[in-house]
């Protein structure tokens, strides 16, 4: 049984769910997404990935900067949604919006709630060294990711998995999970249970200051930092390049069994010693350049001990 759906989402992560809802025959009457914003070097105004997909499928698009004014609520109500599906939308839904759909609002959240409520659950799970995470459908309420959980799937975090890898896996898994939730909702059999009161953590937004690597830290922490911030914003270190200092992002790494003084360049230039242990660099990126395998990078930019800047 199809439902009359308003979809609310913004980034690439939300697109598979929107696509799946359309594919299984739900009536997506409108898409709400963040307004187009300047991006890239030219600061050209670009619509969100969700807006692009919606327009390709001839779905009405709304891009309010807030959901709090009466005119916006009237427009939302005018779509007469049976349910709102929310996936990484980026705006807080006020209570009068939450109350508008007949069956409420369902949110897809990329963690095993109540662990990692908030803005950056994928990155935080990896940076914390979690071995498992997941994706959950939650019935929304006024609190930040506090609503009862309806469905969920657990996913192992592999030792070399990056935030980008996990993002893609959870986006696809979540699309199927949300369609299962809507199928149960249409049958009147969707059961949602309150989240446990223990184990609550918050996935705060990633700050720029968290991206610089401190080689005095442990290899395990640095490896988790690298993969948790890959591909964006990218963990980086500073290195001397002639008379200038250049930032090098690390996109992939692995733990090495070597050791040395923090910041020492070991072996063939691909291994950096940490405060405890060492990290082998696999993929890196110079400013303004393409991502390169470490061996390729070293052919044009050799590293040796003493090259790394240890302080800002």
- The pTM (predicted TM-score) of the whole model is 0.94
Q: Could you tell me the two tokens for 274?
A: 């940490």
Specify whether the CB–CB gap between 42 and 120 falls below 8 A.
no
Neighbours of 199 (CB within 10 A): 10
Look up residue 145 and give its two tokens.
């990711």
Cis peptide before 114 (omega within 30 of 0): yes
d(CA 127, CA 115): 14
Q: Token pair of 202, please?
A: 């918050």
C-alpha count within 13 angstroms, C-beta hemisphere, residue 110: 27
Count CB-CB contacts under 10 A for residue 254.
15
- Tens-digit pLDDT profile for residues 180-223: 999 999 999 999 999 999 999 999 999 999 999 999 999 999 99
Question: In the numeric block, which tokens belong to residue 255?
Answer: 């733990």
Q: Which stretch of 55-59, 167-171, 174-178, 240-244 has the lowest confidence by average pLDDT?
A: 240-244
Across residues 42-58, what is the average pLDDT? 92
CATH code at position 221:
3.10.25.10
250 backbone dihedrals φ, ψ, rounded to 5° = -110, 125
Tokens of 256: 């090495």
Say whether both 148 and 79 belong to one domain.
Answer: yes
140 & 62 share domain: yes
| 155 and 220 inside one domain | no
Name the token pair of 307. Answer: 């090259």
- Structure token pair of residue 181: 């939730």
Using only C-alpha atoms, the chain has a radius of gyration, in whole angstroms, of 22
Domain that holds residue 115: 4-202
- Residue 63: predicted pLDDT: 97
Q: What CA–CA distance (Å, rounded) separates 78 from 98?
A: 14
Q: Which of 185, 202, 219 is the last residue of a domain?
A: 202
pLDDT of residue 104: 97
């Amino acid at each position: 049984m199809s439902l009359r759906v308003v979809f609310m989402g913004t980034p690439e992560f939300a697109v598979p769910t929107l696509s799946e809802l359309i594919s299984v025959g739900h009536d997506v009457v409108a898409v709400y997404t963040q307004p187009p914003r300047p991006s890239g070097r030219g600061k050209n105004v670009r619509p969100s990935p969700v807006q692009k997909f919606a327009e390709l499928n001839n779905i009405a698009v709304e891009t309010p900067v807030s959901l709090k004014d009466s005119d916006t609520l009237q427009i939302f109500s005018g779509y007469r949604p049976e349910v709102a599906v929310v996936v990484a939308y980026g705006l807080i839904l006020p209570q009068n919006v939450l109350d508008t759909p007949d069956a409420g609002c369902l949110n897809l959240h990329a963690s095993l709630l109540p662990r990692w409520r908030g803005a950056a659950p994928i990155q935080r799970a990896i940076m914390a060294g979690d071995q498992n995470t997941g994706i959950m459908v939650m019935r929304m309420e006024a609190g930040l990711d506090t609503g009862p959980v309806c469905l969920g799937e657990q996913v192992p975090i592999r030792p070399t998995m990056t935030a980008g890898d996990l993002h893609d896996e959870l986006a696809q898994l979540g699309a199927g999970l949300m369609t299962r939730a809507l199928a149960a909702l249409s049958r009147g059999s969707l059961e949602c249970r309150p989240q446990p009161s223990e184990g609550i953590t918050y996935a705060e937004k990633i700050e720029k200051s968290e991206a610089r690597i401190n080689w005095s830290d442990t290899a395990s922490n640095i490896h988790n930092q690298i993969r948790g911030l890959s591909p964006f914003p990218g963990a980086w270190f500073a290195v001397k390049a002639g008379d200038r200092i250049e930032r090098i992002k690390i996109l992939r790494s692995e733990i090495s069994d070597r050791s040395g003084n923090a910041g020492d360049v070991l072996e063939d230039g691909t291994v950096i010693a940490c405060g405890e242990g060492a990290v082998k660099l696999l993929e890196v990126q110079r400013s303004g350049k393409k991502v390169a395998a470490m061996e390729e990078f070293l052919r044009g930019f050799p590293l040796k001990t003493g090259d790394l800047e240890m302080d800002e």
